[in-house]
Chain A
């Protein structure tokens, strides 16, 4: 069989189906990854519109643009959207697309589970935005504290919708996390031993591990509140021995690591972009990796700093203050490594790298205010004020959204085969950077001046008007920047300059295959002999042969040294993941009203999952 015949056969084996229902059957990581990204950005836009509505409401005192009830729903849904429907999923979505290519393999592990996770994520957003249109969206804040969220003070179905949304999104996130861990550990190209993994891969491994241990805590919490509301348990009811602070512990044991889950992938993106646009490997690889891992471990030991205002024992406050300040050490190490990389390299200030520089500036400010609120006396003053709002937007927009915008610009040519327009890229960077700072920097001052977060309006005598007006103007500029950015993306998708396989002269494996990649990713899997495979004579690097082109075979390698171990066959497209996600979705929505939904739903789900796992016929042996 010659090269051409092999390629044709591979094309046939891995091809997506066509036809009206093919969309519901696809399992390949590129289609699902693109869809995942697109959907996440749609929810991001929705969350952005909600933010704009809030800024309009707060632009002047005593404003009646939004009612108090509507405002409560909007700020709650803004938080829910950005944390559950955007922050985590968009990073996982990018990994779903990029990781298999960067690792030099043909598919993401467990492709059908990946499709299932996508549909659950899609349904989650549809459910909660339908609730908003019906005027019954959750209104208790994204962390939905009891007793406000308990049956006595939170009547109706709003909090239950919050709880089910958590179930939807966390099941989805956990499934993808397992795929990511398994793909990284078992499907790296031969030779990509653990000390040659790109830093982006490290960041996703660390993130996925954190998801496995953090998300269960919020699922436990959301099911507890669901039980309290649906079947009358007393877990959070102090009158019967329950406890309201318990909620905060369970929530923040998830909620704090969640912050790292959202921005650690961003750190990985930053490392990828910095290396390529400074024309040298990131300084201090080992220090970078150890810092990521240290951040992950420490991230589980600081949740109580969200609860300083609840009157905890002083020893606890001291411990969590120290732990919270300590997290600045690994973050600082990474910042200095990037600065050293830029210093030693030859930076070229193209849009992806501009977004990285924007990240550095914003994230450092967010980190510094983080050290400030880690101190109990200051925290007691600033708790629940706009200072905190400013702080976490600096951390999350700086730490996650700016790297993400840079990352999308950077990987866009790989996904679409076309480059985004650079001039519009520069314009969108400056608009978002200036707009962001104008929106959120005044909030520090507002918080110091005592403006509490989550108030739907304020009085003219407070003197908060000027800064709020500035902030609203900033939000307008930020929105414009986003419009330019995404307009650029949509325009470039069809009309951008053709990219070729490696437009940035980058170092990692995804740039060794065509743009967009063929359905099988690589005709011959690459073999890796260094940390920057494409910078060291890629034409002479060895390749893998012998994977069957007539089956969806992937190469499974060993965990540490990535030596070839065995072959494994992945499954064909099927409708079962979609069908199972529909059943899961119906179960969770019906569960808003009756606990029997779970009994019936699980029985149905068992039937559907059996259909999913049952092999189709002995020749097509794929059903993982």
Chain B
């Protein structure tokens, strides 16, 4: 046995960021699944639109633009603390991580609060017609995806204030959580376009 050539890996690091990390790849997998869910739902939206002479159907008012547009702004601005957290995690800067994650979580909370107002200003119920159904369902799927990520981020924030915060792999978790937030933001833009602009422009 001793005669065999060996590769000694004991000096290798115990964690790594980005596409070197298994957490990054798992996150990409989750993103692929959710993107497929949104794609199928958006395809359904336009499929149903094809069945109607006008969209929204006659006697159904358009959804209000104000709250969702505010939410677009909130998400775009949230990219700043998010990026700060991500780069702080990659540099193991715990102080910045802690402050940045609280700020980023507050943005997400604000988004969810405004989301509640958004639902109230869709101006249609899910059971009035197929347009209402798909509008509520698409916004509902996005809300589900948002709330689960918020809950996850809050747990991770608390974790970063605990004695476990100093382990290397926690920094990877924080960085990949921020990476996922990019998907949250990027997926909201087309869904916002579909729900609020497609009925106006198409």
Q: B93 on the interface (CB 8 Å rule)?
A: no
Residues B112-130 near A (CB distance < 8 A): 126-130
Write out the residue numbers on chain A whose beta carbons fall within 8 Å of the beta carbon of B21: 556
Write out the residue numbers on chain B whose beta carbons fall within 8 Å of the beta carbon of A243: 47-48, 51, 130
CA distance A497 to B24 in the complex (A): 45
Write out the residue numbers on chain B whose beta carbons fall within 8 Å of the beta carbon of A564: 7, 9, 12
Q: B201 on the interface (CB 8 Å rule)?
A: no
Establish whether residues A546 and B26, one from each chain, have CB atoms under 8 Å apart when the complex forms: no
Q: B32 on the interface (CB 8 Å rule)?
A: yes
Establish whether residues A178 and B131, one from each chain, have CB atoms under 8 Å apart when the complex forms: no
Establish whether residues B137 and A233, one from each chain, have CB atoms under 8 Å apart when the complex forms: yes
Q: Which of A3, A253, A544, A621 contacts B9 (CB 8 A)?
A: A544
Write out the residue numbers on chain B whose beta carbons fall within 8 Å of the beta carbon of A621: 167, 169
Given contacts A186-B25, A621-B169, contact A565 B52 (CB under 8 A): no
Write out the residue numbers on chain A whose beta carbons fall within 8 Å of the beta carbon of B76: none
CA distance A398 to B37 in the complex (A): 32
Establish whether residues B12 and A233, one from each chain, have CB atoms under 8 Å apart when the complex forms: no
Q: A174 on the interface (CB 8 Å rule)?
A: yes
0/1 string, A219-239, CB within 8 A of B gives 1: 111001001100111110100
CA distance A250 to B43 in the complex (A): 9
Establish whether residues B6 and A543, one from each chain, have CB atoms under 8 Å apart when the complex forms: yes
Identify the stretch in A48-56, A375-383, A612-620 within 8 Å (CB) of chain B at 4 or more residues: A612-620
Establish whether residues A565 and B12, one from each chain, have CB atoms under 8 Å apart when the complex forms: yes
Q: Chain B nearest CB: distance from A191 CB in Å?
A: 9
Q: Chain A nearest CB: distance from B48 CB in Å?
A: 6
Q: Chain A nearest CB: distance from B51 CB in Å?
A: 6
Closest to A238 in B: B51
CA distance A542 to B47 in the complex (A): 58
Q: Chain B nearest CB: distance from A29 CB in Å?
A: 15
Establish whether residues B16 and A545, one from each chain, have CB atoms under 8 Å apart when the complex forms: no
Q: Chain A nearest CB: distance from B27 CB in Å?
A: 9
0/1 string, A232-254, CB within 8 A of B gives 1: 11110100111100100110010
Given contacts A233-B133, A240-B129, contact A568 B15 (CB under 8 A): yes
Closest to A220 in B: B40
Q: A195 on the interface (CB 8 Å rule)?
A: no
Q: Which of A110, A216, A556 contacts B36 (CB 8 A)?
A: A216
CA distance A524 to B14 in the complex (A): 18
Residues A19-54 near B (CB distance < 8 A): none
Write out the residue numbers on chain B whose beta carbons fall within 8 Å of the beta carbon of A610: 155
Write out the residue numbers on chain B whose beta carbons fall within 8 Å of the beta carbon of A231: 126-127
Q: B1 on the interface (CB 8 Å rule)?
A: yes
Q: Is the interface of A mostly helix, strand, loop or mixed?
A: mixed
Establish whether residues A555 and B5, one from each chain, have CB atoms under 8 Å apart when the complex forms: no
Closest to B15 in A: A566
Q: A217 on the interface (CB 8 Å rule)?
A: yes
Q: A351 on the interface (CB 8 Å rule)?
A: no
Establish whether residues B4 and A541, one from each chain, have CB atoms under 8 Å apart when the complex forms: yes
Establish whether residues B155 and A566, one from each chain, have CB atoms under 8 Å apart when the complex forms: no
Establish whether residues A233 and B127, one from each chain, have CB atoms under 8 Å apart when the complex forms: yes
Write out the residue numbers on chain A whose beta carbons fall within 8 Å of the beta carbon of B37: 216, 219-220
CA distance A190 to B128 in the complex (A): 59
Q: Chain A nearest CB: distance from B35 CB in Å?
A: 8
CA distance A540 to B21 in the complex (A): 31
Residue among B26, B52, B131 having the largest count of chain A Cβ atoms under 10 Å: B26
Establish whether residues B13 and A567, one from each chain, have CB atoms under 8 Å apart when the complex forms: yes
Q: B57 on the interface (CB 8 Å rule)?
A: yes
Q: Chain B nearest CB: distance from A318 CB in Å?
A: 21
Q: Which of B7, B11, B22 contacts A544 (CB 8 A)?
A: B7
Q: B61 on the interface (CB 8 Å rule)?
A: no
Closest to A540 in B: B4
Given contacts A217-B40, A227-B137, contact A241 B7 (CB under 8 A): no
Establish whether residues B12 and A566, one from each chain, have CB atoms under 8 Å apart when the complex forms: yes
Given contacts A242-B48, A242-B130, A564-B12, contact A216 B7 (CB under 8 A): no
Q: A185 on the interface (CB 8 Å rule)?
A: yes
Given contacts A241-B51, A543-B7, A545-B7, contact A566 B16 (CB under 8 A): yes
Q: Which of B14, B22, B131, B169 contacts A241 (CB 8 A)?
A: B131
Residue among B4, B33, B148 having the largest count of chain A Cβ atoms under 10 Å: B33
Establish whether residues B15 and A217, one from each chain, have CB atoms under 8 Å apart when the complex forms: no
Establish whether residues B12 and A567, one from each chain, have CB atoms under 8 Å apart when the complex forms: yes
Establish whether residues A565 and B25, one from each chain, have CB atoms under 8 Å apart when the complex forms: no
Establish whether residues A246 and B44, one from each chain, have CB atoms under 8 Å apart when the complex forms: yes
Write out the residue numbers on chain A whose beta carbons fall within 8 Å of the beta carbon of B34: 216
CA distance A548 to B52 in the complex (A): 64
Establish whether residues A182 and B40, one from each chain, have CB atoms under 8 Å apart when the complex forms: no
Q: A606 on the interface (CB 8 Å rule)?
A: yes
Q: B73 on the interface (CB 8 Å rule)?
A: no
Q: A369 on the interface (CB 8 Å rule)?
A: no
Given contacts A241-B51, A618-B167, contact A182 B7 (CB under 8 A): no
Write out the residue numbers on chain B whose beta carbons fall within 8 Å of the beta carbon of A249: 43, 47
Given contacts A178-B29, A615-B164, contact A240 B155 (CB under 8 A): no
Write out the residue numbers on chain B whose beta carbons fall within 8 Å of the beta carbon of A242: 48, 130, 133
Q: Chain B nearest CB: distance from A623 CB in Å?
A: 9
Q: Chain B nearest CB: distance from A460 CB in Å?
A: 46
Write out the residue numbers on chain B whose beta carbons fall within 8 Å of the beta carbon of A388: none
Residues B53-100 near A (CB distance < 8 A): 57
Q: A109 on the interface (CB 8 Å rule)?
A: yes
Closest to B163 in A: A618
CA distance A624 to B173 in the complex (A): 10
Closest to B20 in A: A565
CA distance A235 to B141 in the complex (A): 15
Q: A213 on the interface (CB 8 Å rule)?
A: yes
Residues A507-553 near B (CB distance < 8 A): 524, 527, 540-548
Residue among B29, B32, B131 having the largest count of chain A Cβ atoms under 10 Å: B29
Q: Which of A178, A241, A565, A615 contacts B30 (CB 8 A)?
A: A178
Residue among A187, A220, A615, A624 having the largest count of chain B Cβ atoms under 10 Å: A220
Closest to A214 in B: B36
Q: B101 on the interface (CB 8 Å rule)?
A: no
0/1 string, B145-181, CB within 8 A of A gives 1: 0001001000100010001100101000000000000
Interface residues of A (CB under 8 A from B): 3, 109-110, 174, 177-178, 181-182, 185-187, 190, 212-217, 219-221, 224, 227-228, 231-235, 237, 240-243, 246, 249-250, 253, 524, 527, 540-548, 555-556, 558-559, 564-569, 602, 606, 610, 613-615, 618, 621, 624
Can you name 27 A-B residue pairings with CB atoms under 8 Å? A109-B26, A178-B29, A186-B22, A216-B36, A234-B132, A235-B130, A241-B129, A242-B133, A524-B6, A541-B4, A544-B7, A545-B9, A546-B7, A547-B9, A556-B16, A564-B7, A565-B12, A565-B20, A566-B16, A567-B12, A567-B13, A567-B14, A568-B14, A613-B155, A618-B167, A624-B23, A624-B169
Top 5 nearest A-B pairs by Cβ distance? A546-B10, A241-B130, A233-B133, A216-B36, A542-B5
Interface residues of B (CB under 8 A from A): 1, 4-16, 19-23, 25-26, 29-30, 32-34, 36-37, 40-41, 43-44, 47-48, 51-52, 57, 126-134, 136-137, 148, 151, 155, 159, 163-164, 167, 169
Since A242-B48, A542-B7 are in contact, a sample of 17 more A-B pairs with Cβ atoms closer than 8 Å, ordered by chain A residue number, is A177-B29, A215-B33, A221-B40, A231-B126, A233-B130, A246-B47, A524-B6, A527-B5, A543-B6, A545-B7, A547-B9, A556-B21, A564-B12, A566-B12, A569-B169, A613-B155, A618-B167
